[in-house]
């Protein structure tokens, strides 16, 4: 429901809201990927809550045995798109503050295409051109990044779900992320949270984790418990139940 709640992040003339509204009122049932999305949907449109079911995504990545391509010894990982509400530019600013105290840490950015003009400007302005590495590739590449990163960071201002966080938990990659309701919903206590509107707070929280990562055993136990909700089998059975209920 990001388009409805925060239209300022999308181009003028974007037809997503119009098309979505038509589908919402013409369909027999709606499946939302999170309780957060369901809540936003019911707040935005006058529809019965009985018409809406929440089914979380299931994780489908499997482990790999191949060696990763050459990576920095120590790096923070960012995964996925980076524009607008993803808040990546502020994360870059926060990363520059982290480097003032931890000059040994790189930032690896996977997916979302190559660097944009705006990103290049801020990276050059902050003199980060040898510290930020953009990578695109297959699931095998991504899995190796999860397995070797110090942590995954997501600074989004809002989301409908957050699949990289679940993937990171699966591969026991620590998560440091925005304190937003969807992230609280999907990873529970299996992460460290910061204020995505506060660059200083973002850097302080990340640095604190990097300097005090002695809680990893507890983190791994929390991940194992949380991940039981996000299997493809559970997701498929719930979808089938909804479809059968409409027959």
How far is 81 from 75, CA to CA, in rounded Å? 19
Flag whether pLDDT at 199 surpasses 60.
yes
**Confidence at residue 95, expressed as pLDDT on a 0 to 100 scale:** 98
| pLDDT tens-digit series, residues 11-42 | 777 788 788 889 999 999 999 999 999 999 99
User: Can you point out the beta strands (E) in 111-174?
Assistant: 132-135, 151-154
Question: Which residues touch 178 (CB under 8 Å, ≥6 apart)?
Answer: 87, 154, 155, 156, 157, 193, 194, 195, 196
How far is 118 from 121, CA to CA, in rounded Å? 5
Under 8 Å between Cβ of 182 and 36: yes
What CA dihedral angle connects 222, 226, 228 and 230, to 10 degrees? -140
How far is 9 from 84, CA to CA, in rounded Å? 6
| pLDDT tens-digit series, residues 38-74 | 999 999 899 999 999 999 999 887 777 666 668 899 9
Flag whether pLDDT at 114 surpasses 70.
yes
How far is 79 from 59, CA to CA, in rounded Å? 15
| pLDDT tens-digit series, residues 207-238 | 999 888 666 666 777 787 888 889 999 999 99
**Confidence at residue 216, expressed as pLDDT on a 0 to 100 scale:** 66
Angle formed at CA 9 by CA 7 and CA 14, multiple of 5 degrees: 60
Mean pLDDT of the chain: 90
**Confidence at residue 5, expressed as pLDDT on a 0 to 100 scale:** 56
Question: Which of the residue ranges 53-62, 85-94, 142-151 would you say has the lowest mean pLDDT?
Answer: 53-62
**Confidence at residue 175, expressed as pLDDT on a 0 to 100 scale:** 94
């Amino acid at each position: 429901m990001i388009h409805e709640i925060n239209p300022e992040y999308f181009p003028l003339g974007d037809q997503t809201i119009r098309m979505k509204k038509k589908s919402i009122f013409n369909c027999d049932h709606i499946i939302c990927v999170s309780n957060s999305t369901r809540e936003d949907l019911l707040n935005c449109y006058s529809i019965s809550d009985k018409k809406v079911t929440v089914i979380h995504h299931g994780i489908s990545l499997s482990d790999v045995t191949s060696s990763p391509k050459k990576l920095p010894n120590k790096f923070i990982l960012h995964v996925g798109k980076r524009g607008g509400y993803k808040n990546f530019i502020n994360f870059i600013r926060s990363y520059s503050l982290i480097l003032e105290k931890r000059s040994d840490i790189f930032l690896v950015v996977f997916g979302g295409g190559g660097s944009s003009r705006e990103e290049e400007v801020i990276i050059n302005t902050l003199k980060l051109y040898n510290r930020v590495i953009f990578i695109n590739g297959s699931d095998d590449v991504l899995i190796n990044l999860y397995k070797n990163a110090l942590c995954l960071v997501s600074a989004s201002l809002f989301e409908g779900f957050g699949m990289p966080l679940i993937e990171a938990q699966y591969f026991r990659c620590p998560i440091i992320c925005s304190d937003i309701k969807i992230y609280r919903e999907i990873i529970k206590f299996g992460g460290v949270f910061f204020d995505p509107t506060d660059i200083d707070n973002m850097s302080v929280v990340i640095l604190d984790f990097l300097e005090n990562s002695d809680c990893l055993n507890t983190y791994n136990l929390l991940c194992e418990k949380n991940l039981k909700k996000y299997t493809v089998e559970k997701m498929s059975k719930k979808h089938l139940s909804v479809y059968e209920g409409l027959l």
